[in-house]
Amino acid sequence: MGEAPGTLAASWIVARKDLAIEFRTRTAFLSALVFALLGVTIFYFAWDATAVAAADLAPGVLWVIFTFAGLLGLQRSFGSELADRAIDGLLGAPISREAIYLGKALANLVFVSGILAVTIPAVVLFYNLPFGPGIGALAGIAALAAVGLVAVGTLFSAMAVNTRMAELLLPMLSLPFFVPIVMGAAQSSARLMAGRPIAEAWPWLRILVAFDIVFVTACTLAFPYTLDE
Amino acid sequence: MTSASEPLPTARPRRDPLLGVAIVAVALVYVRALAFTPIEVRQGAAQKILYIHATSAFIALYVAFALMAIASILYLWLKDEKLDRVAESAAEVGLAFTTVVLLTGPLWGKTIWGAWWTWDARLTATLFLWFIILAYLLLRGAVEERGRRARYSAVLGILASFLVPFIHLSVYLFRTLHPMPILLKPSAPSLPNEMLVTFLFSFAAFTLLFIALLRLRYRMATLRDYVADREQERA
Amino acid sequence: MTPDNTSFAYTAYTLAGIIYLAYVLSLKLRLRRLRERAIAFDASTRPRSDRPEGA
């Protein structure tokens, strides 16, 4: 074989491997999807629909569900590795540690995006959202939010999976970090879907973008320290 | 790993006078603040809560949390176990201070603002500081191998030091863009001398307390690691 | 009219005092337990003089 693949190429290889494993069984994806859809529905019954318009509720519901479905998806990311110490194989390969992180994060991103691709239309449907240009913007915001969630979540699931209480630890570590994401996503999407000018949503989008830049960088740099060697 | 040349931690029951001094100092601040500092006319006696609330807050955020973050960075760079013990000690003592801040704050807020809690930038950031330090300590509890525990904690500590300012800024933005009901903000144009002195005394006393607690906690960590090492050697 | 909220002040000071004191006590207790464990450990390994290297 020729020289070792560069970081981006290596990330793609890692991501493809992860996704191939994932989609062979599809169980995790379908479970997270069902969870998201059920959550969206249950939230509807938790409010007095006559007091609060469904369209006003929708952003809050969407981003809360996004958070918890995202956590479900993150759990599976390292669980499969731990099962047969497959990570040792990855570490032995001639790819950089950062590539492993980016690859896993990419796989998680595809996973979370898949869930969002179904959940967002569901929210539009169930909450009677106006079908305007705001919906397109929603997809963009969702992409930004997903990047932030996956950046932080991939790092923490790498740490949590090596502990005794992984399922509890991952949410506890990640949720404080999700707060700026949820804030930025919810506030900007609420404004855009209500048809307000983009200038009003812009400060919130800036928070989201800033978060993504800062934490993708920080987590990529920090990831090698979570490995045992 | 304690080397053979260092005195055994067990052979050291010497009392650290600093803790006693710190406790006495804090007690003196209590007496001075409650009995010998004038009551602020507009806020009433509850204003005195600030003497312990504000100083605890400052120490929790700018001393304890900062120390935890710096020790974490230095640990990842230098790999010295002592730094990890400093970080964990700063975190735990910081948690105690932050708890006091979060309990005394609402008691003051209720009298001044009429509300136990508001989601303004500073309160929210402090609340999340509390959550993050708790998560840090729970993470440490969940990882048994010492090197890994130190590395994981250091990563979380460093990321947390990015997050807290981020939350502060986000919530600040949240508040300024939302027209909020005007809350009564007590203005403090100039602090009368006696109050200023009380604040300074309080600051000195609580700093002493922090240092004393930090040292005690650090000593506990050293002893714990020593015992763990010996038990492992024997096993 | 100065509001009468001294009860708030006393509650706050008391709570703070309790928390700090409780933490001091918890530290001292944990330290003492560790010391006992360490001493017991050292005592149980000392009589073994057949070990070539020092403890």
Tell me the per-residue pLDDT of B80-112, one tens digit each, with 9 for 90 and over.
Answer: 999 999 999 999 999 999 999 999 999 999 988
A25 contact partners, CB below 8 Å, separation of at least 6? none
**Mean pLDDT score, B187-200:** 77
What was the pLDDT predicted at B186? 47
Which stretches of chain A drop beneath a pLDDT of 50?
1, 84
Q: Is residue B136 predicted with pLDDT exceeding 60?
A: yes
- Given pLDDT bands bounded at 50, 70 and 90, which one contains residue B156? very high
Which of B34, B53, B213 minimises the CB distance to C23? B213
Residue B93 maps to a domain: yes
What was the pLDDT predicted at A93? 72
C8-47 residues touching B, CB cutoff 8 A: 8-13, 15-17, 19-20, 23-24, 27-28, 30-31, 34-35, 37-39, 41-42, 45
- Domain span at residue B124? 21-34+43-178+192-234
What was the pLDDT predicted at A182? 93
Contact residues, chain B, for A219 at CB < 8 Å = 159
More confident residue, C36 or B189: C36
In chain B the first and final C-alpha atoms are separated, in Å, by 16
What was the pLDDT predicted at B185? 43
What was the pLDDT predicted at C55? 46
What was the pLDDT predicted at C25? 96
Phi-psi group of A195: left, alpha or beta (phi > 0 → left; psi -120 to 50 → alpha; rest → beta): left
DSSP string, A143-179: HHHHHHHHHHHHHHHHHHTTSTTHHHHHHHHHHHHHH
Tell me the per-residue pLDDT of C9-47, one tens digit each, with 9 for 90 and over.
Answer: 999 999 999 999 999 999 999 999 999 988 887 787 766
Structure tokens at A161: 């999976």
Give the Cα separation of B58 and B192 in Å (integer): 21
What was the pLDDT predicted at B2? 45
Give the three-class secondary structure for B16. coil
- Given pLDDT bands bounded at 50, 70 and 90, which one contains residue B180? very low
Q: Cβ–Cβ of B100/C42 closer than 8 Å?
A: no
- Given pLDDT bands bounded at 50, 70 and 90, which one contains residue B231? confident
DSSP structure class, residue B187: P
Q: Are the CB atoms for B68 and B217 separated by under 8 Å?
A: no
What length does chain A have? 229
A114-153 residues touching B, CB cutoff 8 A: 152
**Mean pLDDT score, B130-152:** 94
Q: What's the domain count of chain B?
A: 1
Residue B168 maps to a domain: yes
Q: Is B172 on the interface with A (CB under 8 A)?
A: no
Residue type at position B150: A
Domains in chain A: boundaries: 7-226
What was the pLDDT predicted at A96? 81
What was the pLDDT predicted at A196? 80
